[in-house]
């Protein structure tokens, strides 16, 4: 059975090739690597910063709000050779009724939007089993203990 574990973005750090996004779920911390441009967008959302004019993820969040759509959640549903796969669930409610759509997307995009709109992020428990726990590395980066 593929249970969902609620996840939290813990930290976003620059790395030699872009950014490292540290995510914790069910007592495990793992890292998603993204390139510089996309990492900067996720970090901006993580820190609650907005540009003078809306950037793409801010624009999408505003568009969803204007269309009376709500991001229900983002799910990290697969990982293969270090590539993570995510799906964003969006619910539309209007006078015609309700509709829920699942949209496949890159983690950098779906996580940025989830952070902008305050939507939960989850990971399938069977995916967690495939990932290396980097909790000690995150503590070291934060200066909270020796590894």
What tokens appear for 83 in the block?
């590539």
The model carries a pTM of 0.89
SS3 at position 146? coil
Spatial distance between the Cα atoms of 141 and 147, rounded to a whole number of angstroms? 10
Q: Do strands 69-80 and 121-124 pair parallel, antiparallel, or not at all (unpaired)?
A: parallel
Which residues touch 11 (CB under 8 Å, ≥6 apart)? 21, 22, 138, 141, 142
pLDDT of 147 strictly over 60: no
- Residues 22-67 have pLDDT tens digits of 999 998 999 999 999 899 999 999 998 888 888 888 999 999 998 8
What tokens appear for 133 in the block?
């726990």
Spatial distance between the Cα atoms of 119 and 103, rounded to a whole number of angstroms? 14
**Is 4-142 a CATH 3.10.690.10 domain?**
yes
Greatest CA separation found in the chain? Answer: 57
For the chain, what are the domain ranges?
4-142
Spatial distance between the Cα atoms of 14 and 35, rounded to a whole number of angstroms? 10
- Residues 95-121 have pLDDT tens digits of 888 999 999 999 999 999 999 999 999
């Amino acid at each position: 059975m593929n249970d969902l574990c609620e996840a939290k973005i813990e930290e976003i750090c620059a790395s030699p090739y872009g950014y490292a996004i540290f995510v914790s779920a069910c007592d495990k911390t793992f890292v998603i690597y993204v390139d510089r441009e996309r990492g900067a967008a996720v970090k901006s959302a993580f820190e609650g910063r907005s540009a003078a004019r809306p950037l793409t993820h801010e624009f999408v969040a505003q568009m969803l709000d204007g269309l009376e759509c709500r991001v229900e959640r983002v799910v990290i549903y697969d990982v293969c050779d270090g590539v993570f796969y995510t799906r964003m669930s969006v619910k539309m409610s209007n006078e015609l009724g309700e509709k829920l759509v699942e949209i496949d997307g890159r983690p950098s995009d779906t996580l940025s939007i989830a952070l902008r709109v305050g939507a939960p992020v989850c990971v399938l428990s069977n995916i967690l089993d495939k990932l290396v726990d980097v909790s000690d590395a995150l503590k070291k980066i934060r200066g909270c203990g020796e590894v």
